[in-house]
Copies of this chain bind each other. A is one copy, B any other.
């Protein structure tokens, strides 16, 4: 697909020059979050909704996010389509836009997304005018259905949330990249910039990272590192990587014969 090579990431008609999305959970220090957004030039960041704790003064996460950044409200906590829809509506009512990361999880151990419920939620939300970015387990058929009901992007997981294990689903995300026409944003499980570069090298359109940045020793520098890796991987994809040689035999990069030999 030609738009796979466009300069900007385009979602629902909106252009983004950065292909690095940042999650805002787990930051020990909210100032680090603000600096991490700046250091990485992230243009889309996720936030979530939660019941207020009446006993405790909590900081307002939104104060740490620059106004020109696109807020993507995560429906985390939703166990089915109905709950996801309800959270999305609350977010819109609160004045925070219509960009929703549709995350439906009904498994408290592995936190695997429920693709079928996610499709239902996207279907409803799209009709209500939301821009939905569904978080999914990378299944070709589910991705096709999401596109059919109006998802302007899909966000397959690289590995289980928070595990930092990298691209365990590589073979299957590759299929989405080849077959699905909307942007494929790899989300969850990317634990190092090399993982992000690997995703981009094979043609992913963007990546979203949270845990690996927020829990790093230096989250601000790590955010920058991920953003650099995303650019590196993107440039490599555009440059057309050479293939791995399958034989066990080596191939010289220096001239090896004709000198000092008879």
- A48 to B114 alpha-carbon distance, docked (Å): 32
Which A248-262 residues sit within 8 Å CB-CB of chain B? 248-261
A71 to chain B, nearest CB (A): 14
Which B residues lie within 8 Å of A170 (CB)?
168
Task: Check: A130 CB closer than 8 A to any chain B CB.
Answer: no
- A26 to B255 alpha-carbon distance, docked (Å): 9
CB-defined interface of A77-106 with B at 8 Å, one 1/0 digit per residue?
111000100110000000000000001011
Task: Check: A132 CB closer than 8 A to any chain B CB.
Answer: no
Assess whether B217 is in contact with A239, with CB atoms less than 8 Å apart: yes
A51-B259, A83-B260 as given contacts; A226 in contact with B216, CB under 8 Å: no
Closest chain B residue to A225 by CB distance? B235
- A212 to B235 alpha-carbon distance, docked (Å): 13
Interface centre among A79, A103, A107, A193 (most CB of B within 10 A): A193
Which A148-193 residues sit within 8 Å CB-CB of chain B? 159-165, 168-172, 174-175, 178-179, 191-193
Assess whether B235 is in contact with A228, with CB atoms less than 8 Å apart: yes
Which B residues lie within 8 Å of A197 (CB)?
192-194, 197, 229, 232
- A256 to B108 alpha-carbon distance, docked (Å): 9
Which A209-262 residues sit within 8 Å CB-CB of chain B? 210-212, 214-219, 221-222, 224-229, 231-236, 238-246, 248-261
Assess whether A162 is in contact with B252, with CB atoms less than 8 Å apart: yes
A184 to chain B, nearest CB (A): 14
Indicate how many identical chains form the complex.
Answer: 4
- A211 to B245 alpha-carbon distance, docked (Å): 11
- A234 to B225 alpha-carbon distance, docked (Å): 8
Assess whether B211 is in contact with A251, with CB atoms less than 8 Å apart: yes
Assess whether A76 is in contact with B218, with CB atoms less than 8 Å apart: no
- A235 to B194 alpha-carbon distance, docked (Å): 12
Contact of A74 (CB < 8 Å), options: B111, B217, B254: B254
A141-B116, A194-B194 as given contacts; A103 in contact with B254, CB under 8 Å: yes
Which B residues lie within 8 Å of A219 (CB)?
239
- A57 to B74 alpha-carbon distance, docked (Å): 61
- A195 to B195 alpha-carbon distance, docked (Å): 9
Closest 8 CB pairs of A and B: A217-B240, A162-B251, A76-B254, A225-B235, A228-B232, A229-B232, A194-B197, A160-B250
